[in-house]
Each structure stands twice: as C-alpha cells, then as structure tokens.
Amino acid sequence: MTESTVFPDIHPEVFPDVWVHRNAQGLEIGSEVPTGVPSNAIAAFFAAVQVTWEIRETLWMLVLRDFKGRYRAQALGLFWSLAHPLVMMITTTIAFEYVLRVQIAFFPIFYLVGAIFWHFFTNAILAATGAMTDNGGLIKHTTFPRFLFPIAAVLSHLLHFGMELLLVFAFFFVFPDAYRFNFTLVALPLLVFLILLISIGVGLMVSVLHAKYRDLYYVVTSLITIGFWGTPILYSTAMAPAWLRPLLRLNPVGGVIEGARDIMMNGKWPNLEYLLPAFVTGVVVFVVGCLVFRKENLRVSDYV
C-alpha cells in the first residue's frame, strides 16, 4: 500500500509551499526559500501549531487509524474500553471495602474518577512511546511533521477517556449521593486540558527517545508502576503523612485527579493547594518534552 493511499493529505503536492529544511543546528520550517538558519524554540513551536492546524484533517485520520486499529478483529470492540474500568472498580472495591476495610466514602466512585484519569495518562504514554518506530516508513520517506505521530497516539486515547468519563456520569443513577453537581463542572474541561498537555509533553519526549533507545519502553512501564502508587488513585493526598504530602502535590496527574474529585464528588472548585503545583509541573513537563523532541528529532530517521 502506498503512502498516498493511506494518507492522501500528506502527499507533497497538497502543501507545495511548505518545506522542512534540516541541518546540524536544527529544523527550519517555512513558506519561503530556506535561509539555513533554524527557527528559535518559540518560533518553531508556533510554526508547529500552524502546520498542525493546516493539516488537521490528516491528524484526525491518524487519530482514527490508531483508535480503530486498537479494536481490529475483536468481537466486542469498544465494549472493552468500558469493561476494564468496571471490572477494576468492582474488584478494587471488594478488596478495599470488604477485605482491608478502608473507610473512604463512596469508594467505587472515588476510585473510578482517579482510575480513568490515570488510565488515560498511562495508555497515552505507552502508545506514544512506540509512535516513531511504528511509523518508521513515513518518517523515512516523507517530510510529514513527525511530532504529529505521538500527538495522534495521545489523542486516540482521549476518545477512550471521553467514553469512560461518560461512564462516571452514568453512575450518578446508581450512587446519586456520591455526586455534587453544580456550576463548578465548568472547570472540568480545564483539568482534562491539563492532563492532555502533560500527556503530550511526556509523549513527545519518550517517543523520540525510544526511537534511539529501544529499552526505554521497559523503563516507561516500570515508572508507570511506581507512579500508580505515588498517585492518589486508591487514596487521597490528605490521607498521606504530612511529610509526604508536598512530594505528592508535585505529581501533576495527582493534582488533576484531586481536582476532578472536588468538582464531581464535592461540588467545589479544585483546591489550589493541589492544582497549582500540578499546573506548574505540567507546564514544565510539556516544555521539556517539546525541547527534547526538537533536539532528538533531527536524527530520528536514522534509528526507525
């Protein structure tokens, strides 16, 4: 199958005025004759945003390809996207409420809110890790913007996250006392945007490094296992010892989870004590991810 058949929008004739010039110092993208001087990081970022907007339909094709490919040849298809959090919610509730007897009000919903955000983050990162190697053919033979491969992997899991979030709202009819819905719900999309920003930052970084260091996938899976216990999924940050709470607040995913619980279960605005460190850390992660990708992207075609 040719590249024009799979991705007709990225054929060179579609963007005759867009070029990518590469040298030892970096990448230069523009619509005029290459100057040989790479754009600075800020200019390159806005150029990338502009290119993304111009080929947004192609990005959507990549997202759908990843999303549909995940359930290819599976009889129950999208059912598994909802079955997994349900099974985990039931088994975890039995273990914590009836065996360990942990006293957390409305634990099934408490866990489910935390789990869907964590699952989105981890699944998106794992998918982004292999985004470059999985698209090696396109990287070697086209000038298609490479940063869109890990971004598409993250966005494809955002579709799963949307369905799981609807599942959380559906449980209102099962545990109505667990929810406090009011006008604070308008802040929920901001939390989704924050965890999306974090996921894209980490995804950009690990995708380009994995092309060079293939063992990185196992490092990422190990860090995810550690991160699960360092993220307030099965507990709240307030339950941790006082000396540990400042460290837990640096976890941006944890801050997002705590904020989502405040909004959905308590009807409150997210606690800035948790959200502000998460926001700062998340922005730093995104910037670092972009910078690492910008540097390592130069030779990624040599490794895929």
Q: pLDDT tens across 183-212, in order?
A: 999 999 999 999 999 999 999 999 999 988
What confidence score (pLDDT) does residue 189 get?
Answer: 94
Q: Which domain holds residue 65?
A: 56-302
Q: Which of 183, 2, 149 is nearest to 65 (CA)?
A: 149
At residue 2 the predicted structure's pLDDT band, cuts being 50, 70 and 90, is very low
Residue 207 included in any domain: yes
For the cut 50, the answer to whether the pLDDT of residue 7 exceeds it is: no
Alpha helices in the chain (DSSP H): 3-6, 41-54, 56-69, 79-93, 107-129, 131-134, 136-141, 148-170, 188-212, 216-229, 245-249, 252-265, 272-296
The residues near 131 (Cβ < 8 Å, ≥ 6 apart) are: 149, 150, 152, 153, 203, 207
Q: CA–CA separation, 58 vs 10, rounded Å?
A: 7
Q: CA–CA separation, 163 vs 85, rounded Å?
A: 11
Instruction: Note whether 11 and 144 are within 8 A (CB).
Output: no
Residue 6 included in any domain: no
CA distances from 67 to 36, 192, 278 (A): 38, 19, 28
Residue 10 included in any domain: no
What confidence score (pLDDT) does residue 273 get?
Answer: 86
Q: CA–CA separation, 279 vs 118, rounded Å?
A: 16
Residue 40 included in any domain: no
pTM of the complete model: 0.82
Residue 45 included in any domain: no
Which residue did the predictor score with more confidence, 269 or 5?
Answer: 269
Q: CA–CA separation, 252 vs 121, rounded Å?
A: 11
The 10s digit of each residue's pLDDT in 150-189 is 999 999 999 889 988 998 999 999 899 999 999 999 999 9
Residue 191 included in any domain: yes
Residue 263 included in any domain: yes
- State the total domains in the chain: 1
Which residue did the predictor score with more confidence, 160 or 260?
Answer: 260
Residue 7 included in any domain: no
